[in-house]
Amino acid sequence: MKIVVAMRQIADLVEELEVDASGADIDREFVKFVSNEWDEAALEEALCLKEAHGGEVVVVGVDDVDFDQTLFGALAKGADRAVKLSCGFEGWMPTAVRAELLARWLKDESFDLVLTGVQAADDLDGQLAGVLGARLGLPHAAVVVGLEPDGDGFKVTQELGGGVTLTSHATGPLVLGIQAARQAPRYVPISRIRQAMSAGGIEELEVEAPTARAPKVTRLFAPEAKGRAEMLGDKPSEVAARIVELIRAKGISVS
């Protein structure tokens, strides 16, 4: 079984994001970029599948800021290959563009599964799994929380919201947007990442500039604080008294 995991970097939401001079993108200069957490779940699922059923895990992605870190991390965790597609793209990359670059590379690869994170914090023009599935002409599914080989294909379990889950049988190759792996993404010790770094092993490919279109962002702004909560202060005893008052005012009896 050969599993391709499409990974990417995303601005660390721990950081305070600021809007750049153009007013239409985040200020990328001082922001830290980290691996997309759902992609990490996709990688974990791929590694678990490989450990349970054998096969190969190939991590691929476009050359985002600090993407090497993520690739080395993936290699340290047990991925067999790491591929970086470079085309000199800068700034916000729409999903359509990402999908185009990945699809071009995937066209020449054989694989059984393409796994990627169900979403990313800036995928304004759609979630990668679906867009990539369409580009490759393959069946796809999103919000996947369960995946097992099953006869000639895979048993795929998706969350449909409200706690409803749907299990389907699909014959591959498939493109899946992973919501959660069977276990939390594993920890990879820094020493292993460093070993992977000193071993090298990232395949870097120059690719042609993309042509896909995407909606044009005209303005990026912080949400208005219109519905902002009335703050009750931070002195616990006073806040507690107000909360009890509010509960009683709603006609809920508490002793």
> Which CB atom, from 86 or from 167, has the smaller least distance to another protein?
167
Helices (H), 33-179: 37-53, 67-77, 95-107, 128-136
193 binds another protein (CB under 8 A): yes
- Identity of the residue, 21 or 229, whose beta carbon is nearer to another protein in the bound complex: 229
* Cβ closest to another protein, residue 59 vs residue 143: 143
Identity of the residue, 88 or 164, whose beta carbon is nearer to another protein in the bound complex: 164
Nearer to another protein (CB atom), residue 206 or residue 230: 230
Q: How far is CA 211 from the centre of its chain?
A: 23
* CA 113 – CA 1 distance, rounded (Å): 8
Does residue 239 sit in helix, strand or coil?
helix
Rounded least distance, CB 21 to another protein, Å: 15
Among 86, 167, 203, 209, binds another protein (CB under 8 A): 167
Q: Does 251 interact with another protein (rule: CB under 8 A)?
A: yes
**CA neighbours closer than 13 Å in the CB half-sphere of residue 254:** 9
Of 9, 70, 116, 158, the residue at the interface with another protein (CB under 8 A) is: 158
Asked whether the beta carbons of 5 and 113 are under 8 A apart, the reply is no
Based on CB atoms, which residue is closest to another protein, 206 or 224? 224
Of 48-56, 82-90, 108-116, 161-169, which part binds another protein (CB under 8 A)?
161-169
Least Å distance, CB 216 to another protein, is 5
Q: Please, what is the minimum distance in Å from the beta carbon of residue 230 to another protein?
A: 5
**CA–CA distance, 30 with 92 (Å, rounded to integer):** 15
Identify residues 34-73 at the interface with another protein (CB under 8 A): 34
Contact track, another protein, 7-36, x by CB under 8 A: ----xxxxxxx-x------x---x-x-x--
The β-bridge relationship of strands 202-206 and 153-159 is unpaired
Which residues, numbered 112-141, are part of the site for another protein (CB under 8 A)? Answer: 118-119, 121-131, 133-135, 139-141
| Six token digits for residue 161 | 């919201």
Determine, following the binding rule CB under 8 A, whether residue 91 of this chain makes contact with another protein: no
- Region of 152 please: left (phi>0), alpha (psi -120 to 50) or beta: alpha
Helix (H) or strand (E) holding 35: strand 33-35
Radius of gyration of the chain (CA): 22
Distance CA 135, CA 51 (A): 29
Q: Which stretch binds another protein (CB under 8 A): 56-64, 106-114, 196-204, 207-215?
A: 207-215
